[in-house]
Amino acid sequence: MIKNDRLYRKHIDTMMVVGLGYCFMGGWTFCRLLLLCTMNFAYIRQVIYEVADEEFLQQPYAFQFMAGLSIIMIMLMAVIDAGIRFFIGFSARANAMCKKRNAYIFWLFVVIFLDFIAIFVSMSQLNGTITNELVDFIGSFLMNIMVLVISVDLLVSCLYVRRYRKLEAKGLLTKDN
C-alpha cells in the first residue's frame, strides 16, 4: 500500500477543526437551553398546562414543583449533552495530535444515532401550515442536518486516521515515489 500523506493530513486537519467545532456546539447547546429556561418561561408554562392534570395543578405549589422539575431536567440534559460534545471534541483533537483516545468514537456513534432520531422526530411534527413555528422548524431541521453531516465527517476522519496508524505501525505503508 502506498502512503498517502496528503489525505492523512487532511483527515488530521478535519479532526482538529471539527473537534473544536464540537466543543463550540456543546457550549451553544447549553446556552440555548439556558436561554429557553430563562427567557421563554411562557413556553414551559404552556407545556406544563398541556401535560399536567388539572386536579394536580390545583394543589398548592404544584405548578412551581412542575416548573422547577422541568427546568432541572432541561438543564441536566443540557449539561449531559454539552459534556458529551466536549468529550468528543477534545478527544478528537487529542487523537489528531497522536494521543491514544478511542472511547469518543463510541460516543460519536451514539450522537449520530440520536441526531437521526431528532431529524425523524422533527419531520414527524411538521403539519404543513405556514406559521412562525414553521420557520423555527426549518431552522432546527437544517441545524440537525448540519450537525449530522459534521458528525459523520468527523467519524470518517477518525476511522481513516485510526486505520492509517494501525497500518503504519505494522509497517505496511511505504513512502511515496
**Where do the domains of the chain lie?**
5-170
Least confident of 7-11, 31-35, 113-117, 136-140: 136-140
Mean pLDDT, residues 108-120? 90
CB-facing half-sphere around the CA of 90: CA atoms within 13 A: 8
pLDDT, tens only, 44-102: 788 888 877 777 778 888 888 888 888 898 889 999 999 999 999 999 999 999 887 78
No. of helices (H) and no. of strands (E), the chain: 6, 0
Q: What is the DSSP code (8-state) at residue 85?
A: H
DSSP 136: H
pLDDT reading at 127 higher than 80: no
- Tens of pLDDT, residue by residue over 154-164, are 999 999 998 88
